[in-house]
Structure 1
């Protein structure tokens, strides 16, 4: 039985194509990941201020509520973005490795 392997040129082309796909997809996935990260930081920071200052930090409760609502609304896009990033990185690792 004959075993057929990919040539080095084919592997390089496949790697270059996957790297380009990852860069192109990053234009959409990275902003989503950054927004979720910033909203998470705002949420935690605002609740820390509320815990320290108590009821005097009424504006921080509004910030916490807004950032929590953004987190809930963007959560599906965040999961999709992280899934795409993980898939592309795993695929690159398999191709290059």
Structure 2
């Protein structure tokens, strides 16, 4: 049985294509990942203030609720962005 191998030039072409695809997709995925990270930090910080100040921090409970809502709404986009990043990185590691 005859096996066909990919040439070195073809492998380099595929690698360059995947790298370009990663750069193009990163413009969409990185802002989503950063936004979720910032919302998470703000959520945790607002709850830390509530824990320290107790009932005197009523406004921070509202802030925490807003950021929790934002996290819930953006969670599907975050999961998709992370999945895309992992897929592309896996393709790059295979080469």
| TM-score, with length taken from structure 2 | 0.97
Q: Distance in 2 between matches of 1:67 and 1:27?
A: 24
Q: Distance in 1 between matches of 2:63 and 2:39?
A: 10
Which residue in 1 is equivalent to 2:36? 36
SS of match in other structure, 2:3: coil
Which residue in 1 is equivalent to 2:8? 8
Q: How many residues end up aligned between the 2 structures?
A: 95
Runs (5+) with no aligned partner, structure 2 = none
Which residue in 2 is equivalent to 1:59? 59
Moved over 4 A (4+): none
Superposition RMSD in Å? 0.6
The residue correspondences of 1:63-82 to structure 2 (distance < 5 A) are 63-82=63-82
Q: Distance in 2 between matches of 1:83 and 1:34?
A: 15
Q: Shift of the alpha carbon at 1:80?
A: 0.3
Runs (5+) with no aligned partner, structure 1 = none
